[in-house]
Structure 1
Amino acid sequence: MELFLQQVLNGLTLGGVYSLVALGLTLVYGILHVPNFAHGAFYMAGAYSAFFLINKLGLNYWWGMLGAAVTVALISVLSERLVFHPLRKAPYLHHMIASIGILLFLEAGAQALWGADFHRMETPYTQLLTLGSLTLPAQRLLIIGAAFTLVVLLQLFLTRTITGATIVAMAQNREGAALVGIDATRVAMLTFAIAGALAGMAAVLYAPINLVYTSMGHLVITKAFVIIVLGGMGSVPGAIAGGLIIGFAEAFGAFYISTDYKDIIAFALLVLILSVRPQGLFARGAH
């Protein structure tokens, strides 16, 4: 039972991080209607921003997280303004190629600034807490608490505020939203900023137990794509549920099967679930 509960903790940790990244990705999908491959680079940029602020400038962990969120939000908005907005009437293939270009540009920039080595981000939460026979790393508890707090706050923002409602309306029907007076430009910028901030904070939460390196966003964004397909493209509840499903599947699969197959489990689940429910788990609101 102790080992089972330990895997529950690991599953919640992974699920929280994946949900944050997938939420930003699904929000941007609602605006572009194409996958934003640059989102993995935003995740990486958040980790490097916090690494610089914490390890080089000596700021504490929380100021580093705030700085990373702001930095990645600005990078994300600049990407929308300088790259995606001029392509808004172009074929969707152009958006996909442009997002890959942003990904390569940001990764090359990070490697030029910090090199290709792996870096370790400092965290003040290195304690090991014990609950009976369970060992609870403080950083993992922080990830769970912070990630699900952010998920709840985002859900409240989208469902209980007028600004959040405009984002949902634009994701459902961009042309219809513009016809009723919603400023598409402002909503697109806000959506990209929120998505970037979520990716940056997810990276800062997870980096202390997973190192910082230029390609750290590749596997995370690949799994985020799996999550939003599982949950239903464009579905916010689906992104949350999908993140938890993948997180638990990886944690239990690595323990009970083998760590060698941990990263394959997400794709096996994708095939299994879509063979039963092709539209995803949350078809309502999906595109």
Structure 2
Amino acid sequence: MDIFLQQVLNGLTLGGIYSLVALGLTLVYGILHVPNFAHGAFYMVGAFVALKLMTGWEVNYWIAMIGAAGVVAVIGALSERLVFRPLRNHSGLHPMIAAIGLLLFLEAGAQALWGADFLRMPTPFSGIIEVAGITAPVQRLMIIAGAFTLMAALQIFLTRTVAGSTIVAMAQNRDGASLVGIDANRVAMLTFGISGALAAVAATLYAPINLVYPAMGHLVITKAFVIIILGGMGSVPGAIVGGLIIGFAESFGAYYISTDYKDIISFVLLVVILSLRPQGLFTNGAR
């Protein structure tokens, strides 16, 4: 039972991070209707900005997280304005190629600015709590608390605020939203900014128990795509549930099967679930 609960803790940690990244990706998909392959680069830039604020400017961990979220939110908004908006009326292939180009540009820029070395982010939460035989690093508990608090805040924002309602309206019907006076350009920039901020927070939460390097977003964004396909393209609840499913599957699979197969478990699970339910677990908002 102790081992089982330990894996539950690990699953919640992974699931929280995956869900945050997938939420940003699914919000952008709802507006753009094209997968944003550069989202993994937003995640990577967020980790580097937070790391450099902490180690170079000796900024507090939480302030560094807020700073990273702000920087990547601006990058996301500028990406929408300069890269994706001019291609809005083109076929889906053009924005996809542009997203890949943006990914390569951000990764090359990060390598030029900060180098290609693997770096470790310091954390003020280095303690360990033991409860009923379960070893719980404080950083993992902070990841779980921070991720789920942010998910709840995002859900409240989307359902209880005017700005959030405009994002939902745009995702459901762009033409209808424009007819009732919603500014599509403003909403698109806001959505990309929120998406970038979510990726930066997820990276800052997870980096102290992982490594920071220019290609760190590759595996995370690949799993985020698995999650949004699994949960239903464009579905916010699907992104959260899908992230938790993948997180638990990886945690339990790594322990009970092998750590060598940890990263392919999510893809096997995707094939199995989509063979039974091709539209994904949730269809609201799916396209």
Equivalent residue number for residue 131 of structure 2:
131
Alignment of 1:74-223 (within 5 A): 74-223=74-223
> Contact 2:234 / 2:284 at 8 angstroms: preserved in 1?
no
- The residue identity in structure 2 corresponding to 1:247 is G
Cα distance in 2, alignment partners of residues 117 and 285 from structure 1: 40
Please state whether the residue corresponding to 1:129 is helix, strand or coil: strand
**Aligned residues, how many?**
287
Q: CA deviation at 1:163?
A: 1.3
| Matches of 2:271 and 2:133, distance apart in 1 | 37
Alignment-derived partner of residue 17 in structure 1:
17
The Cα shift of 1:132 comes to 2.1
Over residues 75-104 of structure 1, what are the superposed CA-to-partner deviations in whole Å (9 max), with x where a residue is unaligned? 001100110011111111000000000100
Q: Does the CA-based 8 Å contact 2:166-2:187 persist in structure 1?
A: yes
Q: Does 1:66 align with 2:66?
A: yes
- Aligned residue in 2 for 1:226: 226
Match of 1:30 in 2: 30
- Would you say 1:282 and 2:264 are equivalent positions? no
State the match for 2:241 in structure 1: 241
Deviation at 1:38, TM superposition (A): 0.2
Q: Alpha carbon RMSD of aligned pairs, Å?
A: 0.5
Counterpart CA distance in 2 for 1:165 and 1:201 is: 23
TM norm structure 1: 0.99
Per-residue CA shift, 1:146-186, capped at 9, x if unaligned?
Answer: 00000000001111112111100100111111111111011
Q: How many angstroms apart in 1 are the aligned matches of 2:104 and 2:218?
A: 11
Amino acid of the residue matched to residue 125 of structure 1? F
Contact 2:40/2:220 (8 A) holds in 1: yes
Structure 1 CA distance, aligned partners of 2:238 and 2:266? 15
- What SS does the aligned partner of 2:282 have? coil
Match in the other structure for 1:48: 48
User: What code does the residue aligned with 2:55 have?
Assistant: N
The Cα shift of 1:18 comes to: 0.3
Secondary structure in structure 1 of the residue aligned to 2:82: helix
Q: Secondary structure at the match of 2:122?
A: coil
Deviation at 1:67, TM superposition (A): 0.5
* Distance across 1 between alignment mates of 2:116 and 2:192: 28
Match of 1:6 in 2: 6
Look up the equivalent residue of 2:218 and give its one-letter code.
Answer: H
1:218 is paired with a residue of what secondary structure? helix
Superposed CA deviations along residues 197-255 of structure 1, whole A, max 9, x for unmatched, are 00000000000001100000000000000000000000000000000000000000000
The AA in structure 1 aligned to 2:259 is: T
> How much has 1:264 moved relative to structure 2?
0.5
* SS state at 1:143 partner: helix
Give 3-state SS (helix, strand or coil) of 1:182's partner.
coil
Q: Which amino acid aligns with 1:86?
A: P
What TM-score comes out, normalization by structure 2 length?
0.99
Q: Please identify runs of 4+ aligned residues in structure 1 that moved more than 3 A.
A: none
Task: Measure, in 2, the Cα distance between the counterparts of 1:110 and 1:283.
Answer: 37
AA aligned opposite 1:105: F
SS of corresponding position for 1:130: strand
> Secondary structure at the residue paired with 2:283?
coil
